[in-house]
Amino acid sequence: MRQVHVSLLVLALLLRVGAAHADQKLRIISWADYVPADLIAAFKKETGIDVEVTLSNNEEMISKLRATGGAGYDLAQPSQDRIASAQREFGIYKPIDLAKVKIEEFQPALLGIVKRNATVDGALYALPYLWGTDGLVVNTKRAQVADYPDLCNAALKGKTAVRLRRPTLMAFAFAGGKDPFALYGDPKAYAALMDQVGATLIKCKPNFKFFFDNKDQLLNAIRSGEVVAAMMWDTGGWTLNRDNPDIQFIVPRSGALGWLDTFALPARGKNDAAAYAWINFTMRPENAAKVVKSVGNFSAAKDTAPLVDPRLKAQFTAAFPDSALKNIHWYPAIPSGLEEIEGKVLDRIKAAD
């Protein structure tokens, strides 16, 4: 009996050691470049916690967490407009405990946007991490564009590009004088607007060299001159500008589209303590600046400006004087069913001759 008791005690100790070891791992599902290796190393040195990263995107994050009921990861980084609907439908996240967050490290304006869009039944399900915009990139020696419909000018036939994704629908809606976000609560009116935008893009289709699928495809086409103007994200334009000053990122007359990616806690994550430690660690200005360097987008952390590459700061200031920054259309939370409407329109555009 004594031998059995000792064996059980040893087994219990081994299980406790194994559990403690498991607690030293933080599993993150995130976007490419959002979790740089040098930051992982610094976090490990400071806390003893290993970081395991799975690269993903909004659709995959929702799919993976839905399939497991919110298990498999301790921290996710979805866009702030993709959280509320997924939480209401699938319950894949748990509320943020603000008592465990150094909230003073976040920019209040960006925190306010996320609070507005990622609060469900009075509980907050995300915090801001990185943000950026979609606008226009143009080779100014070969084309003149001021807004999205200029990509459809006859002189640019076969020389422009967009993504066949919902941001393009939103962009052309705003450029047509409509606010698609204001119609989120009216599916019928929203569907009618998307049909109008779809018709515009079908008519414009001869101008598109291609619908780009990845950033390298578009960057290479603009570098070679195959494409002279495109709807594109800001950091892509600034990357091209560093090699060729004639290529510039332009905030469209109708406004840029603003996205915000976040920190969110999966509903069945096993290591909340490590997730909160990572959030507070990465939002320190010196660490947030490392993320900016890695990904090229701007952080929701305060006081990073003095630590950001001066050339990137100059490019940002040139693109976003105060008036343009105020004219960003931030994506609100997407209600259930709207993406199905958009998908049908996108399919029609793709199939059109």
pLDDT for 17 = 39
The angle subtended at Cα 181 by Cα 342 and Cα 70, nearest 5°, is: 70
SS3 label, residue 71? coil
**Can you list the positions of beta strands (E) in 22-152?**
25-30, 50-55, 75-76, 93-94, 119-120, 123-124, 127-139
Check whether 237 has a pLDDT greater than 80: yes
What is the rounded average pLDDT for all residues in the chain?
92
In terms of DSSP bridges, do strands 257-263 and 127-139 run parallel, antiparallel, or are they unpaired? antiparallel
> Could you tell me if 285 and 304 are in contact, meaning their C-beta atoms sit under 8 angstroms apart?
yes
Which residues have a Cβ under 8 Å from the Cβ of 235 and sit 6 or more positions away?
Answer: 132, 295, 296, 297
Per-residue pLDDT band for 103 (boundaries 50, 70, 90) equals: very high
pLDDT for 23 = 59
Which residues have a Cβ under 8 Å from the Cβ of 337 and sit 6 or more positions away?
Answer: 187
SS3 label, residue 284? coil
Q: Distance between CA atoms of 243 and 130, rounded to whole angstroms?
A: 25
Lowest mean per-residue pLDDT among 9-13, 171-175, 207-211, 309-313: 9-13
Each residue of 149-194: pLDDT tens digit? 999 999 999 999 999 999 999 999 999 999 999 999 999 999 999 9
| 172 against 8, higher pLDDT | 172
pLDDT for 318 = 87
Lowest mean per-residue pLDDT among 10-14, 297-301, 323-327: 10-14
Check whether 28 has a pLDDT greater than 60: yes
The mean pLDDT value for 82-91 works out to 96
Per-residue pLDDT band for 320 (boundaries 50, 70, 90) equals: confident
Structure tokens at 108: 């209040």
Lowest mean per-residue pLDDT among 132-136, 196-200, 233-237, 325-329: 325-329
Give the chain's domains with CATH numbers: 2-130+259-307 (3.40.190.10), 132-257+329-351 (3.40.190.10)
Each residue of 267-284: pLDDT tens digit? 999 999 999 999 999 999
| 216 C-beta neighbours (distance < 10 Å), count | 9
Check whether 74 has a pLDDT greater than 90: yes
| 71 C-beta neighbours (distance < 10 Å), count | 15
Q: Distance between CA atoms of 90 and 271, rounded to whole angstroms?
A: 21
| 10 against 183, higher pLDDT | 183
pLDDT for 113 = 95
> Could you tell me if 162 and 168 are in contact, meaning their C-beta atoms sit under 8 angstroms apart?
yes
Each residue of 38-64: pLDDT tens digit? 999 999 999 999 999 999 999 999 999
What's the predicted TM-score (pTM) here? Answer: 0.88
Per-residue pLDDT band for 4 (boundaries 50, 70, 90) equals: very low
SS3 label, residue 312? helix
